[in-house]
């Protein structure tokens, strides 16, 4: 990795974008090092030189995408927002901003999320589990839970949102272009519907 990180940023980004696109289009198993090299405009030998293996590159990209999104949220998230659903809207809008700036990330993450190749699936689960604490911090730290009806389990609500996100991710895997503004509008409408059903009347 040190040799790759010593490259200038433009060269790094060209290789990263090519690899994201290749994996995002074909998944881990069906993507060859030749595909990645062609998309990145370098030789196969250089892929091995920089990353060691295809798996090494793949896992690096997962970490990179996660760190890029978390860095953006850390810089832009407002913890003074205490409403649960407004927090989800805010973090989602920040994530969508990242997707717009880095168009290779969405298809890669969607493909990665549903990846079941034996060579990488356990590593993927381990890396994803690392982000759980960060997600919980965004959702719950300083959140006003008193707005929910007494019968509502907030953690179950969070699971429902993960399931909704899974459904969107599954849809996105079949699309070459995504209108993120439409996507965000639909998602916020879902959040508003949940708020109207799960909050006490005085907070609706």
Residue 172, pLDDT score? 66
Q: Is the Cβ–Cβ distance between 169 and 160 less than 8 Å? A: no
| Number of independent structural domains in the chain | 1
The answer to whether the predicted template modeling score (pTM) of the entire model surpasses 0.95 is no
d(CA 140, CA 112): 26
Q: What is the pLDDT of residues 32-56, one digit of tens each?
A: 999 999 999 999 999 999 999 999 9
Write out the residue range of the structural domain in which residue 69 sits. 55-203
Residue 174, pLDDT score? 60
Where the chain has pLDDT below 50, the residues are none
Residue 40 lies in a domain: no
Residue 15 lies in a domain: no
Residue 43 lies in a domain: no
**What CATH number corresponds to the domain at position 159?**
1.10.357
Residue 81 lies in a domain: yes
3-state helix, strand, coil in the chain (%, to 5): 75, 0, 25
Residue 21 lies in a domain: no
Q: What is the pLDDT of residues 13-32, one digit of tens each?
A: 999 999 999 999 999 999 99
């Amino acid at each position: 990795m040190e040799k790759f990180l010593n490259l200038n940023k433009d060269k790094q980004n060209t290789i990263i974008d090519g690899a994201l696109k290749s994996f995002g289009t074909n998944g881990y198993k069906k993507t060859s090092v030749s595909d990645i090299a062609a998309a990145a405009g370098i030789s196969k030998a250089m892929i091995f030189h920089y990353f060691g293996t295809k798996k090494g590159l793949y896992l690096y990209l997962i970490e990179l995408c996660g760190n890029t999104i978390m860095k953006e949220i850390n810089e832009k998230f407002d913890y003074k927002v205490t409403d649960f659903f407004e927090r989800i809207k805010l973090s989602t809008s920040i994530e969508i901003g990242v997707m717009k700036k880095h168009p290779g990330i969405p298809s890669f993450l969607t493909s990665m999320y549903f990846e079941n190749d034996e060579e990488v699936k356990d590593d993927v689960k381990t890396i994803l589990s690392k982000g759980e604490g960060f997600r919980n911090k965004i959702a719950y730290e300083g959140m006003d839970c008193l707005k929910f009806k007494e019968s509502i389990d907030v953690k179950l609500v969070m699971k429902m949102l993960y399931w909704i996100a899974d459904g969107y991710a599954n849809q996105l895997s079949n699309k070459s272009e995504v209108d993120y503004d439409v996507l965000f509008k639909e998602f916020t409408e879902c959040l508003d519907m949940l708020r109207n059903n799960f909050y006490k009347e005085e907070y609706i």
